[in-house]
Amino acid sequence: MSLLVAGSIATDHLMSFPGRFADSLVVDQLDKLSVSFLVEDLEVRRGGCAANICFGLGNLGLRPVLVGAVGEDFAEYRAWLERHNVDCDSVHVSETRHTARFVCTNDSAHAQIASFYAGAMSESREIELKPIVDRVGAPDFVIIGPDDPQGMLRHTEECRQRGYPFLADPSQQLAFGDGDLIRPLIDGAEILFSNEYEASLITQKTGWSVEEVLSRVGTWVVTLGPAGVRIDRAGEESVVVAAVPEIEKVEPTGVGDAFRAGFLAALSWGLGHERAAQLGCLLAVYVVEQVGTQEYEISRSAFLARCAATYGDEAVADFEPHLQTIRP
Ligand SMILES: Nc1ncnc2c1ncn2[C@@H]1O[C@H](COP(=O)(O)OP(=O)(O)OP(=O)(O)O)[C@@H](O)[C@H]1O
Ligand SMILES: [Mg+2]
C-alpha cells in the first residue's frame, strides 16, 4: 500500500531591506517606476504544501510518494527530500519552466513587495496518477493539496473514477477558487481538511451548509490553531483534541502541513481519528518552534516523552511500535 501526496512544491526566497521602500518611491513618477533595493539578507526556504507534508511523513518513518511538478532546478531539493525518506521518482520535471518560487522583500516598516511565480506547478495538470499507482501499489490514500487548480481537479476526478480514496486539502486555493472549483474538489472525499477560516470559505463559496458538506465527505477535520483541532462527522458529536503546549512560539508557517503529515501517518498505521489528530498536533508543534517549515528534527525519545505528557501513556503505546524517526 502507498501514500500519494499531491500538491505544490516550491521555495521561498525571503529578503530584508534595512530602509523603507516608501523613501525610494516618487509618487508622481510611478509610471516610470524602476527601483532596486540593496538587501541585507537572503534566506531560501524549502516549501510547498506537498513537499512539507512528505517531509513530515518521512520524519515519522513512512515513505510518502511526492506528486507534483518542478523545474530542472529541483536537483538539490530532491536530494534533501530523498534523504528524508520521500519517494521523488514520480515528480514531473518541466523542460521549460522553473520550480514555483515565492520571492519576497520586507522593509524595516514591515512593508512587503512579493511575487509568486507558479512556473512548473502549472504542469501538474499533466500528471496522471495511474502510472504512479502501477509503480508503487494501490494507495491507502491520495491527499490532494493546493496546487495548480486544473491539476487538483484532474487528480480528484481520477481518484473518483478509479476508486482511490482521497483526502481533500484545498487550503490556500479556497481564497481564489469559486464554488464551481471547490465543490468537485471536496465532494466524495474520505477526509476534508481545513482551518476554521477556510471552513467558512467552504460553506460560503459552495453554498452548502455544514450538514451538507458533512453528508458529502466522510470526516471534516478543522484545525483551530493553538486551540487544537475538531473532528466532525455527520450525525456524531464533534471530537476536540487539544494542541500540544509550545515551548517557544517562533514562527507558525507550515503548521497546517505538519499537522496533516502526523494525521496521515497515524491513519496509515491503522489508528483512529482521535489518535491521528494527536499525532498531527505533536508534529505541528515542532514547526511552531522553528523558523522554516522543514527545519525540525524529531528525536524518538523526546517525541514520545512529549506525547506522554500531553496525551498520556496509552497514546504512546499506540504510536511507539510504528514510529521510526531519523534520530533515536
Ligand atoms: N501556537 C501553537 N501551539 C501549539 N500548536 C499549534 C499552535 N498553532 C498551531 N498549532 C497546531 O497546528 C495545527 C494547525 O494549525 P492551524 O489551525 O493554525 O493551521 P493553518 O491555519 O492551516 O496553518 P498554516 O496554513 O499557516 O500552516 C493545530 O491544529 C495545532 O495542533
Ligand atoms: Mg493551512
Contact 310, 244 (CB under 8 A): yes
Helix or strand or coil: residue 162? helix
| Location of C-alpha cell 534523504 | 83
State the pLDDT at residue 251: 84
Closest-lying ligand to the alpha carbon of 170? 2
State the pLDDT at residue 250: 87
Helix or strand or coil: residue 237? coil
| Percent of the residues in the chain that have a pLDDT greater than 90, as a whole number | 94
Digit-coded pLDDT (tens) for 61-94: 999 999 999 999 999 999 999 999 999 999 999 9
Report whether residue 243 contacts ligand 1, using a CB cutoff of 6 Å: yes
In the chain, what are the helix, strand and coil shares in percent, each to the nearest 5? Answer: 45, 20, 35
φ, ψ of residue 21 in degrees (nearest 5): -55, -40
CA of 95 to the centre of ligand 2 (A): 30
Q: In the structure grid, which three cell numbers stand for residue 110, read together?
A: 514591515
Digit-coded pLDDT (tens) for 210-257: 999 999 999 999 999 999 999 999 999 999 999 999 888 888 889 999
Separation CA 218–CA 288 (nearest Å): 29
Separation CA 29–CA 27 (nearest Å): 5
Helix ranges (H only) for 49-127 are 49-59, 75-83
Active site includes 12? no
Helix or strand or coil: residue 235? coil
Please count the structural domains in the chain: 1
Strands 92-93 and 69-70 come out as parallel
State the pLDDT at residue 259: 98
Report whether residue 120 contacts ligand 1, using a CB cutoff of 6 Å: no
Report whether residue 315 contacts ligand 1, using a CB cutoff of 6 Å: no
Report whether residue 225 contacts ligand 1, using a CB cutoff of 6 Å: yes
Q: What's 123's domain CATH number?
A: 3.40.1190.20
Report whether residue 226 contacts ligand 1, using a CB cutoff of 6 Å: yes
State the pLDDT at residue 79: 98
Contact 174, 34 (CB under 8 A): no
Q: Would 42 be classed as within a structural domain?
A: no
Q: Would 30 be classed as within a structural domain?
A: no
Mean pLDDT in the chain?
Answer: 96
Q: Would 113 be classed as within a structural domain?
A: no
Nearest alpha-carbon partner for 261 in 81, 76, 74, 45? 81
CA of 259 to the centre of ligand 2 (A): 9
Q: Would 280 be classed as within a structural domain?
A: yes
Query: Which residue range forms the structural domain that includes residue 200?
Result: 3-10+49-101+118-322
State the pLDDT at residue 197: 96
Q: Would 108 be classed as within a structural domain?
A: no
Count CA within 13 A, CB hemisphere, residue 143: 31
Q: Would 247 be classed as within a structural domain?
A: yes
Q: Would 18 be classed as within a structural domain?
A: no
Q: Which helix (H) or strand (E) holds 173?
A: helix 173-176
Digit-coded pLDDT (tens) for 121-174: 999 999 999 999 999 999 999 999 999 999 999 999 999 999 999 999 999 999
Closest ligand 1 atom, residue 253 Cα: 26
Closest-lying ligand to the alpha carbon of 246? 1
**Residue range 54-66: mean pLDDT, rounded:** 97
Residue 325 confidence class, pLDDT cut points 50, 70, 90: confident
User: Which residues sit with Cβ closer than 5 angstroms to ligand 2, an ion?
Assistant: 171, 256
Q: Would 109 be classed as within a structural domain?
A: no
| Percent of the residues in the chain that have a pLDDT greater than 70, as a whole number | 100
Digit-coded pLDDT (tens) for 252-308: 889 999 999 999 999 999 999 999 999 999 999 999 999 999 999 999 999 999 999
**Burial of 39 (C-beta count, 10 Å sphere; 0-12/13-18/19+):** middle
Bridge partners, residue 104, by sequence = 14, 114
Q: Which helix (H) or strand (E) holds 166?
A: strand 166-168
φ, ψ of residue 62 in degrees (nearest 5): -90, 170
What are the Cα distances from residue 82, in Å, to 2, 62, 68, 92, 328? 16, 12, 15, 15, 19
Number of other residues whose CB lies within 10 A of the CB of residue 157: 12
Which of 192, 241, 255 gets mutated to test ligand 1 (max ligand atoms within 8 A of its CB)?
A: 255
**Residue range 7-35: mean pLDDT, rounded:** 94
How big is the CA angle at 137 (ends 70 and 81), to the nearest 5 degrees? Answer: 35
